[in-house]
Structure 1
Amino acid sequence: MNADAIIIGAGACGLMCAVQAGYLGKRVIVLEKNEKPGAKILISGGGRCNYTNQFASAEQFISANPHFVKSAFTQWTVDDTISFFETYGIDGKEKTLGQLFPDHKNAKDVVQVFTAICEDFGQEIRCSADVKEIEILPDGFRVNYERNGKTVTLSAAKLVIATGGLPIPKMGATDFALRFARKHNLKIVETAPALVPLTITGKDEEWFAQLSGNAVFCEVSNDEISFEENILFTHWGLSGPAILQISSFWRRGETVNLNLLPRQNIVSLLDVERKTNGKTLVSTLLNRIYTRKFTDALGKFLPLNKPVAALTKGEIDLIEQTIHHFKVKPAGDKGYDKAEVMRGGIDTNEISSKTLECKKIPNLFFGGECLDVTGWLGGYNFQWAWASGFVIAQNI
């Protein structure tokens, strides 16, 4: 045997697993298809890396089994993540809603933490290693991979698959884990892009496109859930944090509700204005809230040039409906090229929640995004990656 375990994938989960295995005196070899480790870490948060969330719990994760992550999050907590990075000189700074970013550091520093520890422990990270075949042996696994035009064979008693999901193919994302799972008759929960911008086509396309670059603080909701954050208008539809959040819960054909003024009541504002200065135009009032460009665009629906005192009940109702119940029916999403994560994946019923070992194939472990565990936007998916990597390391 070449090592105690072979880890396929040097992303967040695979790197944490290698480091934690090193603490326990276990030797691993990490195989990474890309030329460098941590590809998605490096681009996360615009290169700044939102590496966890102070409020992370099972509540912020989508899975056919919502209880699955609880064991891992008990074994490796948010405090553990914070302490781990602080030990290596990365202090967290909260941006909003519990999101922690490295203070005065960036994503490169996060990856450097892992590569430096791996070097200290003698854990090998072999990049440009394209795994072609996995053989299940009576006493372990044989992995064949290609590197620099040569085929290399490795053997180990334990195998970890932490190859991520389908998003951002240009960063090397593949369906490796899903193909392996299907080949060995493991169930797959239907996959789809998540944390992804939504597209608008048809008669409304031009209206959204003209607002490209405008951001509005909104409450975005469907029948299942709501999020309060910014939305961003684009030339092809909608993006921004609130849209990315709702996208994980959106299904094609569904309508999304935009409350364009979530913390105030437009009818109350109109009433106050009518009492103090009834000559104020609707456009003037809205310009206090929104950009002029956005207010002008609302003119397609609203009587902007009418004094508030002259508004009829029907017009007030129309303003209330437009501002607080703006309906959008997306045509689709921007796909895996623009998605931050994948929804669905290997069915968690195939995996032990305590060890992340595959129930049907002993000594095989899955972690990170390839499993049916999808976090909200804001550092949650990294927390799952760190936790799953830690748990696997205890058991390989």
Structure 2
Amino acid sequence: MDADAIIIGAGACGLMCAVQAGYLGKKVIILEKGSKAGAKILISGGGRCNYTNLFATDEQFISGNKHFSKSAFTQWTVADTIVFFETYGIRGKEKTLGQLFPEDKNAKAIVDLFAGLCEEMGQEIRCDTDITDIIKEENSYTVVYQRSGKEQRLRAGKVVIATGGLPIPKMGATDFALRFARKNGLNIIETAPALVPLTITGKEEDWYAQLSGNSVFVEISNERISFEENILFTHWGLSGPAVLQISSYWRAGETININLMPQEDISELIEEERKFNGKTLLSTLLNRYYAKKFTDALGKFMPLGKQVASLTKSEMEAIHTTIHLFRVKPAGDKGYDKAEVMRGGIDTAELSSKTLECKKLPGVYFGGECVDVTGWLGGYNFQWAWACGFVIAQGI
């Protein structure tokens, strides 16, 4: 045996697994397709790395089995993540909605931490490796890979597949986990981009494009869920935290509802303004809540130049509908190039929720993004990755 386990993928799950295995005195070798470990960690949060969320529970995750993640989150909690990083000098600072970022460090500090710990523990990270086969033997697995044009082999009792999902191919995203699973008869829940911007085409395209760069705090919803955060208009459609969140629950052909003023009632604001100054223009009133450019764009749907006192009943209804029931039917999404995570993946029914070991392939473990567990925006997917790494390390 070359190691107790071979870990495929040096992302958040793989790195945490290697370190936790090291604490237990287990030797692992990590094989990474890219030229460096933690590539996706390095670009997360604009290079600042939103490494967990104070409010993370199994409730913020999409999965065919909504209870599957409970076991992992019981074994490795948000508090465990916070203590782990604080132990090595990375203290968290909450930004918004429970999002925790390093207080005075960045994403590189997190990758450097894992790389340093792996080096101290003798856990080897081999980059620029291309896995060509995993061969099952009587009591072990042989991992075959190409490196520097040469075929190499490693043998271990356990194999951990933590290769992530399909988003951001330029960062080395690979479908290895999905291909390996299919080859071995495992069920795959249909995959799709998640936490991804949405596109608008057709006759509405120009209206959105003219607002490119404008951000508005909204409540965005569909029949399944709602979020209150900012949307960002772009030259091809909609982005921003609220849109990324709802995208994980959106399906092609569906309409999304946007409340452009979730904390006020536009009808009540107009009635109040009528009492004090009925000559106030509707545009003047709206400019108190929106950037002028956005107010001007709303002129397509409402009489901005009219005084509030002279608005008719039908005009009031149109204003209320536009502000509180703005409907959007996206043409599609920006795909894996712009998606932060992948929805779907290895069917959780194929894995033990307690150990993440594959039921059909004893000794093989799947963790992180390649599993059908997808978190919200805001550090949730990192918490899932850290938890997976810890849980798997206990079993290898």
Distance in 2, matches of 1:272 and 1:34, equals 60
Equivalence for 1:136: 136
Q: Deviations over 1:321-366 (max 9, x none)?
A: 0000000000000000000000000000000000000000101000
- Which residue of structure 2 aligns with residue 163 of structure 1? 163
Report the counterpart of residue 249 of structure 2 in structure 1. 249
Q: Give the residue type in structure 1 aligned to 2:328.
A: V
Q: Distance in 1 between matches of 2:263 and 2:136?
A: 57
Question: Partner residue of 2:352?
Answer: 352
Structure 1 Cα separation of the partners of residues 191 and 316 of structure 2: 43
Query: What is the SS of the residue equivalent to 1:299?
Result: helix
- Number of residue-to-residue matches in the alignment: 396
- Map of 1:111 onto structure 2: 111
SS at structure 1 position matched to 2:142 = strand
2:295 maps to 295
- Matched with 1:327 is 327
Q: What letter is aligned with 1:337?
A: D
What residue number does 2:27 align with? 27
Q: Which amino acid aligns with 1:352?
A: S
- 1:240 Cα deviation (Å)? 0.0
Structure 2 counterpart of 1:120: 120
Which residue matches 1:208? 208
Alignment of 1:34-45 (within 5 A): 34-45=34-45
Alignment of 1:78 with 2:71, yes or no, is no
- Aligned partner of 1:100 in structure 2 is 100
How far, CA to CA, are the matches of 1:119 and 1:91 in structure 2?
22
Measured on the aligned residues, the alpha-carbon RMSD in Å equals 0.4
SS, match of residue 289 in structure 1: coil
For each residue in 1:255-277, what CA deviation from the matched residue of structure 2 results, as whole angstroms up to 9, or x when unmatched?
A: 00010000011001000000000
Q: Counterparts of 1:376 and 1:159 in 2: how far apart (Å)?
A: 28
Equivalence map 1:261-340=2 (5 Å) = 261-340=261-340
Q: Secondary structure at the match of 2:390?
A: helix
With normalisation by structure 2, the TM-score equals: 1.00
Unmatched segments (≥5 aa) in structure 1: none
Q: Structure 1 CA distance, aligned partners of 2:297 and 2:374?
A: 35
* Distance of 1:7 and 1:139 partners within structure 2: 17
Is residue 2:66 matched to residue 1:66?
A: yes
- Looking at structure 2, the residues matched to 218 and 82 of structure 1 have their Cα atoms a distance apart, in angstroms, of 31
Q: Per-residue displacement from partner, 1:59-88 (whole Å, max 9, x unpaired)?
A: 000000000000000000000000000001
Whole-Å Cα distance in 1 between the matches of residues 250 and 106 of structure 2?
A: 32
Which digits, 9 at most, give the CA deviation of each residue in 1:270-313, with x for residues without a partner?
A: 00000000000000000111000000000011100000000011
CA distance in 2, matches of 1:334, 1:373: 21
Using the TM superposition, give the Cα deviation of residue 150 of structure 1 relative to its aligned residue in structure 2, in angstroms. 1.2
Of 46-55 and 144-153, more deviation after overlay is shown by: 144-153
Distance 1:115 1:319 in 2: 56
Q: Distance in 2 between matches of 1:282 and 1:381?
A: 43
- In 1, the alpha carbon distance for the partners of 2:6 and 2:174 equals 18
Deviation by residue 1:93-126 (Cα, 9 ceiling, x = unmatched): 0000000000010000000110011011000000
| Corresponding position of 2:2 | 2
Residues 138-192 of structure 1: per-residue CA shift (max 9 Å, x gap): 1110011111111111000000000000000000001100000000000000000
In structure 2, distance between residues paired with 1:366 and 1:337: 23
Partner of 2:57: 57
Partner SS, residue 269 of structure 1 = helix
Q: Return the letter of the residue paired with 2:152.
A: V
Residue 390 (structure 1) aligned with residue 390 (structure 2): yes
Tell me how far apart the structure 2 counterparts of residues 6 and 357 of structure 1 sit (CA, whole Å).
Answer: 14
The CA deviation string for residues 191-225 of structure 1, in whole angstroms up to 9 with x for no partner, is 00000000000010000000000000000000110
Distance 1:345 1:153 in 2: 27
CA distance in 1 between partners of 2:280 and 2:89 (Å):
56
CA distance in 1, matches of 2:148, 2:276: 76
Deviating runs (4+, > 3 A) in structure 1?
none
Q: CA deviation at 1:239?
A: 0.0
Q: Secondary structure at the match of 1:64?
A: coil
The AA in structure 2 aligned to 1:321 is T
Letter in 1 for 2:269: L
User: For 2:63 and 2:42, how far apart are their aligned partners in 1?
Assistant: 26
**1:134 Cα deviation from its structure 2 partner:** 0.8
Counterparts of 1:346 and 1:211 in 2: how far apart (Å)?
A: 39
Unaligned runs of 5+ in 2: none
Q: Which amino acid aligns with 1:137?
A: E
Structure 2 CA distance, aligned partners of 1:197 and 1:316?
32
TM-score, normalization by structure 1: 1.00
Give the SS at the match of 1:10: coil
Aligned equivalents of 1:129, 1:344: Cα separation in 2: 26
CA distance in 1, matches of 2:285, 2:5: 65
